């Protein structure tokens, strides 16, 4: 599937895989959220031949992972299994260290 945002490069995603999209611009972030919720047409979904797809039949939008953590519970076991099955020890350590640093930074701010 291809996710297209007006004026930007397309994002190619694999069917059946969890996809995280990182957006640094608040206006773009808003456009993505509204489009995923079906309230905007700025983000569109296409198959590999660029036939437009319906959002509600194309993605399982669970929300922002920082705001809607409860929605991720249904995916948690699969995510953890994939982490242990596909990542090597160096990759897992890098993720753990990044998470630990993020937690420290948040605690310092609070």
Q: Is the pLDDT of residue 84 over 70?
A: yes
Query: Average model confidence (pLDDT) for the chain?
Result: 84
Mean pLDDT of 43-68: 81
Q: Is the pLDDT of residue 106 over 80?
A: yes
Mean pLDDT of 71-88: 76
Residue 78 near residue 17 (C-beta atoms within 8 A): no
Residue 52 near residue 44 (C-beta atoms within 8 A): yes
At 10-20, the pLDDT tens digits run 999 988 787 88
Mean pLDDT of 32-54: 90
> What pLDDT score does 69 carry?
58
- The DSSP letter of residue 3 is E
Q: Is the pLDDT of residue 83 over 70?
A: yes
Where do the structural domains in the chain lie, given as residue ranges? Answer: 1-61, 62-110
- The DSSP letter of residue 39 is S
* pTM of the entire predicted model: 0.56
Interaxial angle between packed helices 89-109 and 73-86, expressed in degrees from 0 to 180 and rounded to the nearest 10: 130
Residue 64 near residue 33 (C-beta atoms within 8 A): yes
More confident residue, 64 or 65: 64
> What pLDDT score does 98 carry?
92
């Amino acid at each position: 599937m291809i996710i297209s945002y007006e004026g930007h490069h397309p994002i190619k995603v694999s069917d059946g895989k969890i996809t995280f999209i990182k957006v640094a611009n608040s206006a773009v972030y808003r456009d993505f959220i509204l489009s995923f919720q079906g309230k905007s047409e700025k983000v569109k979904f296409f198959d590999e031949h660029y036939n437009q797809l319906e959002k509600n039949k194309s993605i399982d939008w669970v929300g922002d992972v920082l705001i809607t953590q409860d929605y991720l519970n249904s995916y948690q076991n699969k995510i953890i299994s994939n982490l242990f099955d596909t990542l090597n020890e160096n990759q897992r350590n890098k993720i753990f260290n990044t998470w630990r640093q993020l937690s420290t930074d948040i605690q310092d701010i609070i």
